[in-house]
Amino acid sequence: MSLTREDFLRRENRKAQKENLRLWRSMDFVLVLVSLALVAFGILAVYVAGTSPTEAYATNQAIGFVAGFLGAIPLAIIDYRVWRRFLRPIYGLAIVMLLAVTLMGATANGATSWLDVGPIRVQPSEFAKPLMIVVLAGFFAEKAVGEHGVFLKALGIISIPGLLVLVQPDLGTATVFGPSFW
């Protein structure tokens, strides 16, 4: 029995539909709705908080949300086990971003914590925080957590980005790296 091209495409289409259905069923819709409500409330709060210049801040918040949401879609679709292969590059990316701030960062409110990327200004330490959580989760998934050597290695992993943020100086963000260790 030979498989025609159309039969093959139908079979692949059914597989893709089953996979999409699995993704939709595994989604926590309450979490999504609560998150969307918090985002809407945050944008509204920024908009209401001041006069006309704050309207630009609210627009920037909305644009940031849309960009983050679109960026999160592929992250949610890709199986988490795939990310294990990329733990070292993810860690390296976080370190490079934080070093870039040290070398060519923009100063705002006394801290050199920002990078000018075209028309927008980003704070790499905000990207580094969740990246470090992913890196440490992958590290602890592969190691026996109770061993002292594992604890010290993990402490070293989180210390480097924490110290790079502390040098900016951004004590508030640097202190977040500590709890992400636990």
Alpha-carbon span 62 to 136, nearest angstrom: 30
Q: Is residue 123 helix, strand or coil? A: coil
Long-range contacts of 156-159 (CB under 8 A, 24+ apart): 157/91, 157/132, 158/132
What is the residue whose two structure tokens read 């199986």? 79
Quick check: pTM over 0.85? no
For the four alpha carbons of 39, 59, 98 and 80, in that order, the dihedral sign comes to positive
Q: Which pLDDT score, from 0 to 100, does residue 102 have? A: 83
DSSP per position, 131-178 = HHHHHHHHHHHHS-TT-HHHHHHHHHHHHHHHHHHHTTT-HHHHHHHH
Q: Which pLDDT score, from 0 to 100, does residue 39 have? A: 92
What one-character DSSP code corresponds to residue 1?
-
Alpha-carbon span 61 to 49, nearest angstrom: 13
Residue ranges of the chain whose pLDDT lies below 50: none
Q: Is residue 110 helix, strand or coil? A: coil
Q: Which pLDDT score, from 0 to 100, does residue 156 have? A: 86
Q: Which pLDDT score, from 0 to 100, does residue 24 have? A: 66
Assess contact for 164 and 102: CB atoms under 8 A: yes
Alpha-carbon span 129 to 150, nearest angstrom: 20
Alpha-carbon span 15 to 10, nearest angstrom: 9
Assess contact for 178 and 162: CB atoms under 8 A: yes
Q: Which pLDDT score, from 0 to 100, does residue 173 have? A: 75
Q: Which pLDDT score, from 0 to 100, does residue 85 have? A: 84
Residue type, 36: L
Number of neighbouring beta carbons within 10 Å of residue 85: 10
Q: Please report, for the chain, the start and end positions of each structural domain, with discontinuous segments joined by +.
A: 1-77, 81-182
Alpha-carbon span 65 to 58, nearest angstrom: 10
Structural tokens at position 88: 């070292």
Q: Which pLDDT score, from 0 to 100, does residue 55 have? A: 63
Assess contact for 139 and 148: CB atoms under 8 A: no
